[in-house]
């Protein structure tokens, strides 16, 4: 009975440790750094020309082909297990457009999609995503895979679609940036309005306080003036009464004087009428006698 040899189980940690030591040796780095960063390890291994795969396989006691297959099929695929959402959507759009036009999704078409992706993916990751997108498109459109048509015949259309897709993405990014700028401006305006509103409210509060203080001062001043007026009102009224009495007395005196003078004037008016007649009736002798009489008195 022939017994098949047991297939050796690959230890991922041991393989990565061995590869990290070779990467550190060729780049003067630390093996621990590459062990902790698998993407850095992969970039370094791919940059090393004539990487000693056989030597590493011998030290690991593995077949070179098995090591090589594990690295490029299993390890690299784990680094890029999933494609970006934008790349998946672009792939689906291109496949859908090609399916509607009965375009064969051959290797040239797949390469065209790869050229328009945002980054390079592992071929297994790309193949899985491509096949899933193709099945989904055919199911949604209720179509079957068309007969093969050379990709070169429809390449200009595909290129145009890719350019339009890029243009749409650029416009979308610009719109997003513009929206962010508008939001920033809006936030700045809102902050400035809030600042001005707070300042106005502060000024309003200060004005209210000043108005309240002014009203209190006005009320206090009115009370003081009212008190002062009340205190000085009685003497003022007495003075006014005295002035009225004095004015009444003066008026009475003036009236009496005027009346007296009018009587005197009337008497003198009568006397002035009488005197001419008296002098006209006197004789010359009478006048001489009168003159002698006045001389005697002197």
Q: Can you give the pLDDT at residue 58?
A: 92
Q: Can you give the pLDDT at residue 276?
A: 52
- Taking phi over 0 as left and psi of -120 to 50 as alpha, with beta for the rest, 50 belongs to left
Residue with tokens 């008016």: 269
Two tokens at 15? Answer: 């393989």
**Side-chain half-sphere exposure of 112, counting CA atoms within 13 A:** 23
Q: Can you give the pLDDT at residue 233?
A: 57
Two tokens at 81? Answer: 């297990």
Q: Can you give the pLDDT at residue 8?
A: 65
Q: Can you give the pLDDT at residue 127?
A: 83
How confident is the prediction along the chain (298 residues), in pLDDT tens digits per residue?
A: 444 445 667 788 899 999 999 888 888 778 899 899 888 888 888 888 888 999 999 999 989 999 988 888 788 777 766 778 888 899 999 988 888 887 888 888 889 998 888 888 877 778 888 888 888 888 888 877 655 555 666 667 767 777 788 888 888 888 888 888 888 888 888 888 888 888 888 888 888 888 888 788 877 777 777 776 666 656 656 666 776 776 777 777 777 767 776 665 666 555 444 455 555 555 667 666 666 665 544 4
Q: Can you give the pLDDT at residue 17?
A: 92
Q: Can you give the pLDDT at residue 270?
A: 56
- Taking phi over 0 as left and psi of -120 to 50 as alpha, with beta for the rest, 169 belongs to alpha
Q: Can you give the pLDDT at residue 38?
A: 86
- Write the DSSP assignment of 64-108 as a string of letters: HHHHHHIIIIIIHHHHT-S--HHHHHHHHHHHHHHHHTT----HH
Two tokens at 159? Answer: 């290129």
Q: Can you give the pLDDT at residue 188?
A: 84
- Taking phi over 0 as left and psi of -120 to 50 as alpha, with beta for the rest, 28 belongs to left
Q: Can you give the pLDDT at residue 172?
A: 83
Q: How far apart are the first and last CA of the chain?
A: 206
Q: Can you give the pLDDT at residue 5?
A: 46
Short-list 73, 64, 57, CA closest to 18: 57
Two tokens at 259? Answer: 């009346």
Biggest CA–CA distance in the chain, Å, is: 217
Residue with tokens 């350019």: 163
Q: Can you give the pLDDT at residue 146?
A: 59
């Amino acid at each position: 009975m022939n017994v098949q040899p047991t297939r050796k189980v690959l230890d991922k940690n041991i393989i990565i440790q061995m590869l990290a030591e070779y990467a550190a040796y060729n780049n003067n780095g630390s093996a621990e750094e590459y062990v902790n960063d698998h993407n850095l390890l992969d970039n370094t291994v791919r940059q090393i020309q004539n990487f000693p795969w056989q030597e590493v396989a011998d030290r690991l006691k593995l077949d070179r082909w098995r090591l090589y297959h594990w690295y490029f099929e299993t390890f690299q695929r784990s680094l890029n297990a999933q494609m970006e959402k934008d790349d998946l959507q672009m792939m689906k759009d291109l496949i859908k457009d090609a399916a509607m036009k009965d375009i064969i999704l051959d290797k040239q078409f797949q390469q065209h999609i790869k050229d328009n992706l945002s980054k390079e993916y592992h071929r297994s990751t790309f193949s899985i995503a491509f096949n899933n997108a193709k099945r989904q498109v055919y199911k949604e459109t209720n179509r079957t895979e068309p007969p093969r048509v050379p990709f070169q015949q429809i390449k200009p259309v595909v290129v145009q679609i890719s350019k339009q897709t890029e243009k749409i993405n650029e416009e979308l990014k610009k719109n997003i940036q513009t929206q962010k700028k508008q939001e920033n401006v809006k936030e700045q305006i809102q902050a400035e309005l809030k600042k001005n509103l707070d300042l106005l409210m502060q000024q309003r509060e200060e004005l209210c306080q000043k108005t309240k203080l002014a009203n209190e001062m006005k009320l206090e001043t009115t009370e003081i003036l009212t008190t002062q007026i009340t205190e000085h009102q009685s003497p003022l009224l007495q003075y006014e009464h005295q002035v009225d009495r004095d004015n009444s007395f003066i008026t009475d005196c003036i009236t009496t004087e005027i009346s007296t003078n009018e009587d005197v004037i009337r008497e003198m008016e009568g006397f002035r009428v009488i005197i001419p007649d008296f002098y006209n009736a006197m004789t010359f002798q009478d006048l001489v006698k009168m003159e002698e009489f006045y001389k005697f008195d002197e």
